[in-house]
Amino acid sequence: MGGITVRYLVRRLGIFFLTIWIAASLIWLIPRLAPGDPISAMVSRMIRTSGYVENSDKIIEGWKERFGLNDPLPVQYVRFLGNLVTLDFGYSLAYFPTNVNQIIGQALPWTLGLLLVAVFITFLLGNLLGALLVWTKTPRLMKLIIPVGMVFTSLPSILAAIFLIYIFAFLLNWFPMRGSYEMGMQPSFSPEFIGSVIRHAILPASAVVIVSFGYWTLGMRGMMITVEGEDYVQLARAKGLAPFYVLYRYMVRNAILPQITAFAITIGTLVSGQVLVEYIFTYQGMGTIIFNAISTQDFPVIQGTSFILIVMTALAVLIIDLIYPLIDPRISYQGE
């Protein structure tokens, strides 16, 4: 398997499952550290809405018994882990009897689509600009413009989203302010619906890109400076090879490898940033669901959505680890 030993594969899979177990334990524990409980919060919202709920104490105790919240915490924890094995996240407390799997199934494709586009653009754009900052043939004007554009990297993704909404949705009215597609449209594969989805995704994806690409630019710039001084680059130039050929064949190809490793490590940060952006744009992805679940103390939805995002991040790191020897033939795990 391209230099990967069975021992290394087993160890990586062990770390993968250990990471998921620790993360799953945390997402089970953290909501329970918050004061109050979801059933009482749900009844309180009903009281605020209707003014009075008859036999509220009995309703609270009945629902606690129904969802197993009266059981000892160790029993709840073991039941939670058992359900995770079968990906059974139970029922939503706030939208009962809606199943959590159904809620996730409706939101996950939107988050995955937006994430793949934003991550792909961020990685390519950041590394391209980082390489151009070091390349001697880059126009001087571009070398001045790129650092100015990196100012947005210091902004939180929420502020970047609000900035884009104000400029491009409110003032210029080029893009819609919120939603995943035009209201009233039925999801389909028609050109009209696909076009609406793309228009609604441009601003959320841009909010993730403009606050993230600067990290890749700086990282690539540092690696390019290191690679530029290597003997094989100097030899390629001495042989009279075309500057652009030396750039992508000798410099970028070697400088990009540590960036790929960093990509796997930082993908969790990109996911968390996108969650906040989705809420700002009321994009019907996992971010909006997680925020609403936290507001209503909907434990099953918080646990289910967080678990899926954690698995996505851990799986990305595992895949990068396994394909890295294929990307760089110099890497081998045979000696382990």
Show me where the domains of the chain are located.
Answer: 1-94+296-336, 106-288
% pLDDT > 90, the chain: 0
- Contact between residue 200 and residue 282 where contact means Cβ atoms under 8 Å apart: no
**pLDDT for residue 269:** 66
Q: What's the token pair of residue 300? A: 């099953």
**pLDDT for residue 95:** 73
Q: Name the packing angle between helices 299-327 and 100-134 (round to 10°).
A: 40
**pLDDT for residue 107:** 84
Q: Among all chains, which residue has been given the structure tokens 């990685």?
A: 123
Tell me the pLDDT band of 47, cut-offs 50, 70 and 90.
low
**pLDDT for residue 46:** 58
Position 244 pLDDT exceeds 70:
yes
% pLDDT > 70, the chain: 81
Q: What is the pLDDT of residues 177-194, one digit of tens each?
A: 887 777 777 777 778 888
- Contact between residue 262 and residue 192 where contact means Cβ atoms under 8 Å apart: no
Q: Among all chains, which residue has been given the structure tokens 């210091």?
A: 154
Alpha helices in the chain (DSSP H): 6-33, 38-50, 56-66, 73-85, 100-134, 140-149, 157-164, 191-210, 213-228, 231-238, 243-245, 253-280, 286-295, 299-327
Q: What's the token pair of residue 212? A: 């993230």
Q: Among all chains, which residue has been given the structure tokens 């199934």?
A: 105
CATH fold of 106-288, please? MetI-like fold (1.10.3720)
Position 58 pLDDT exceeds 60:
yes
7 or 38: which leads in pLDDT: 7
In terms of Cα–Cα distance, which of 259, 257, 244 is closest to 136? 244
Position 327 pLDDT exceeds 80:
no
| DSSP-based three-state secondary structure for 99 | strand
User: CA 181, 186, 187, 188: dihedral to nearest 10 degrees?
Assistant: -120
* Rounded Cα gap, residues 301 and 124, in angstroms: 34
* Long-range CB contact pairs, 286-292, < 8 A, 24+: 286/104, 286/107, 286/108, 286/110, 286/111, 287/111, 288/107, 289/103, 289/104, 289/107, 292/94
- Contact between residue 224 and residue 134 where contact means Cβ atoms under 8 Å apart: yes
- Mean pLDDT of all residues in 41-51: 60
* Rounded Cα gap, residues 279 and 288, in angstroms: 5
Tell me the pLDDT band of 3, cut-offs 50, 70 and 90.
low
156 or 67: which leads in pLDDT: 156
Please state the φ and ψ torsions of residue 34, each to the nearest 5 degrees.
-70, 145
- Mean pLDDT of all residues in 192-208: 84
Position 325 pLDDT exceeds 60:
yes
**pLDDT for residue 62:** 64
Tell me the pLDDT band of 1, cut-offs 50, 70 and 90.
very low
- Mean pLDDT of all residues in 166-179: 84
Position 27 pLDDT exceeds 50:
yes
**pLDDT for residue 65:** 63
pTM of the complete model: 0.72
Q: Among all chains, which residue has been given the structure tokens 């992805």?
A: 285
Question: Is 173 exposed, middle or buried, given 0-12, 13-18 or 19+ CB atoms closer than 10 A?
Answer: exposed
For CA atoms 316, 318, 321, 327, give the dihedral sign: negative
Q: What's the token pair of residue 96? A: 């009962």
- Contact between residue 73 and residue 28 where contact means Cβ atoms under 8 Å apart: no
In terms of Cα–Cα distance, which of 125, 262, 272, 274 is closest to 208? 274
Q: What's the token pair of residue 34? A: 């918050």
**pLDDT for residue 50:** 58
Position 161 pLDDT exceeds 80:
yes
Q: What is the pLDDT of residues 108-156, one digit of tens each?
A: 888 888 888 888 888 888 888 888 888 878 888 888 888 877 777 777 7
Q: What is the mean pLDDT of the chain?
A: 78
